[in-house]
């Protein structure tokens, strides 16, 4: 196999040091990469993925090798990163002008920075919803990467956030699936008495706390208010639902997680492993993690149940929205191999490869229509995507939908709230200051 993973740079810029908006000096409109041209099947195609580590890394490795066999003149060079490391890697490559031909992106403000900075090729002519390739994707997934009526991203898989629970642990404790946030918190005492850590939680990277907060914000703050507050130019962050959400999150952390273990020092992967080994009864996880959670531990796919984080009683937002968003890839607008990059992604998203992506051990639910079925995917993955598809709306990740300075303030505030270093009022005050300075 000629495709290979490259080593990480020795030094990476942190989010607080290198904000994305500072990386995008240059044109506001991408150069006209000829994405619709006939590809030249020669040379090296470089790709930055978010598929490092087991069990994900073989997926792109196998596809790269298959593509090389199909086109012997092409060498595929993979830069495989994790969910956490890819943030710093992308910022480093952007700042140095060394983005690869294809690179991973989240939806939301993160993606829009690349579009506005002229780093993402306009793919409308090849993947717009009325094109042959575009029709193979769900329209909502294509729209997640649209900007001013143009289409820039290739959505690879969809995603949503759910509370995973061990059915056997619930039965042992005599606990039912909670219908409200208050019932969830109340169940933790019974689960702990039955010998389980109620909720496995690791917040060393900061963003796991934001996933709880953003879902609670969606429940407690009206959607129009949240949307205005995500943009520093229109933000006030004065809705009482924000403080309510911060207090509810603090209650869950104090009553349902193992605070003695120093949650801010625990990796989210360690929390996932604790749930998979049967130590914890619940773990708040993305659909992308479902199959990994039941691989190699004591928790079986049959015993994994899921439910959305339940809405608090009397919530004034939307109790039916689910946190989540598709994730995908951009073609580097400055790449001389843009047409080849498009051809490779057409290969990646062929029905057979999309079905493989959606199946164990990968469990990444493809955005290709018809790829996720009870036959191709595990029960939990299929159930999760069905709920995502039926939700009236999706709310994006908190650290991806707002300005980088504001995201940093939420990250620091979440950590301080967990440790007791800041009150909910102080956290919100710090975020307001960050938002005001970002205008």
Do residue 114 and residue 175 come from a single domain?
no
What per-residue confidence (pLDDT) applies to 262? 72
Do residue 285 and residue 418 come from a single domain?
yes
Do residue 178 and residue 245 come from a single domain?
yes
Residue 85 is assigned to a structural domain of this protein: yes
Radius of gyration of the chain (CA): 21
Residue 6 is assigned to a structural domain of this protein: no
pLDDT at 160 over 90: yes
What per-residue confidence (pLDDT) applies to 31? 54
Residue 101 is assigned to a structural domain of this protein: yes
| CATH number of the domain bearing residue 245 | 3.40.190.10
In Å, how far from its chain's centre is CA 26?
28
Residue 387 is assigned to a structural domain of this protein: no
Listed range (46-55, 160-169, 261-270) with the worst mean pLDDT: 261-270
Tokens of 370: 């018809």
Do residue 177 and residue 209 come from a single domain?
yes
What per-residue confidence (pLDDT) applies to 33? 79
pLDDT at 219 over 50: yes
Do residue 427 and residue 300 come from a single domain?
yes
Do residue 274 and residue 353 come from a single domain?
no
Measured distance CA(322)–CA(218) in Å, rounded: 8
In Å, how far from its chain's centre is CA 413?
20
Domain with 365 in it = 20-159+324-371
Do residue 170 and residue 280 come from a single domain?
yes
What per-residue confidence (pLDDT) applies to 5? 34
pLDDT at 315 over 90: yes
Q: Looking at 336, 355, 371, which one is the last position of a domain?
A: 371
Residue 9 is assigned to a structural domain of this protein: no
Number of domains the chain contains: 2
What per-residue confidence (pLDDT) applies to 84? 85
What is the per-residue pLDDT across 79-112, written as a single tens digit (0 to 9) for each? 999 988 999 999 999 999 999 999 999 999 999 9
Residue 13 is assigned to a structural domain of this protein: no
What is the pLDDT confidence band of residue 296, given thresholds at 50, 70 and 90? confident
Residue 1 is assigned to a structural domain of this protein: no
Do residue 423 and residue 278 come from a single domain?
yes
C-alpha dist (Å) from residue 181 to 23, 256, 431: 40, 12, 25
pLDDT at 155 over 50: yes
Do residue 146 and residue 276 come from a single domain?
no
Do residue 130 and residue 222 come from a single domain?
no
Q: Looking at 335, 356, 371, which one is the last position of a domain?
A: 371
Do residue 229 and residue 149 come from a single domain?
no
Residue 384 is assigned to a structural domain of this protein: no
What is the pLDDT confidence band of residue 261, given thresholds at 50, 70 and 90? low
What is the per-residue pLDDT across 25-75, written as a single tens digit (0 to 9) for each? 444 444 567 999 999 999 999 999 999 999 999 999 999 999 999 999 999
What per-residue confidence (pLDDT) applies to 14? 33
What is the per-residue pLDDT across 338-386, written as a single tens digit (0 to 9) for each? 999 999 999 999 999 999 999 999 999 999 999 999 999 999 999 999 9
Do residue 154 and residue 168 come from a single domain?
no
């Amino acid at each position: 196999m000629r495709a290979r993973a490259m080593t990480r740079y020795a030094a990476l810029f942190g989010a607080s040091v290198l904000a994305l908006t500072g990386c995008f000096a240059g044109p506001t409109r991408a150069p006209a990469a000829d994405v619709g041209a006939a590809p030249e099947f020669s040379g090296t195609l470089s790709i930055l993925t978010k598929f490092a580590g087991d069990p994900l890394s073989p997926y792109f490795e196998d596809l790269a090798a298959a593509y090389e066999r199909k086109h012997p003149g092409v060498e595929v060079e993979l830069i495989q990163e994790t969910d956490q490391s890819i943030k710093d890697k992308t910022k480093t490559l952007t700042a140095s002008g060394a983005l690869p031909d294809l690179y991973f992106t989240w939806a939301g403000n993160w993606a829009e920075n690349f579009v506005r900075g002229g780093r993402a090729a306009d793919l409308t002519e090849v993947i717009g919803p009325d094109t042959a390739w575009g029709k193979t994707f769900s329209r909502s997934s294509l729209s997640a990467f649209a900007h001013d009526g143009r289409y820039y991203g290739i959505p690879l898989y969809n995603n949503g956030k759910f509370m995973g629970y061990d059915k056997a642990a619930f039965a042992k404790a005599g606990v039912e699936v909670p219908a409200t946030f208050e019932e969830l918190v109340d169940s933790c005492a019974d689960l702990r008495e039955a010998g389980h850590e109620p909720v496995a939680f690791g917040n060393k990277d900061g963003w796991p706390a934001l996933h709880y907060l953003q879902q609670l914000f969606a429940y407690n703050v009206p959607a129009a208010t949240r949307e205005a507050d995500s943009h520093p130019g229109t933000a006030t962050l004065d809705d009482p639902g924000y403080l309510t959400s911060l207090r509810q999150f603090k209650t869950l952390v104090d009553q349902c997680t193992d605070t003695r273990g120093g949650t801010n020092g625990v990796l989210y992967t360690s929390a996932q492993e604790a749930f998979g080994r049967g130590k914890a009864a619940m773990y708040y996880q993305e659909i992308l993690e479902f199959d990994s959670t039941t691989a190699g531990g004591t928790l079986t796919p049959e015993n994994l149940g899921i439910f959305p984080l339940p809405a608090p009683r009397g919530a004034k937002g939307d109790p039916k929205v689910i946190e989540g968003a598709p994730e995908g890839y951009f073609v580097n607008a400055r790449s001389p191999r843009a047409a080849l990059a498009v051809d490779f992604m057409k290969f990646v998203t062929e029905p057979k490869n999309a079905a493989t992506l959606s199946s164990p051990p990968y469990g990444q639910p493809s955005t290709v229509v018809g790829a996720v079925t009870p036959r191709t995917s595990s029960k939990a993955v299929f159930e999760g995507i069905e709920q995502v598809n039926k939700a009236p709306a999706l709310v994006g990740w908190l650290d991806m939908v707002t300005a980088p300075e504001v995201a940093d303030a939420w990250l620091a505030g979440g950590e301080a709230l967990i440790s007791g270093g800041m009150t909910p009022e102080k956290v919100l005050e710090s975020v307001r200051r960050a938002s005001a300075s970002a205008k």
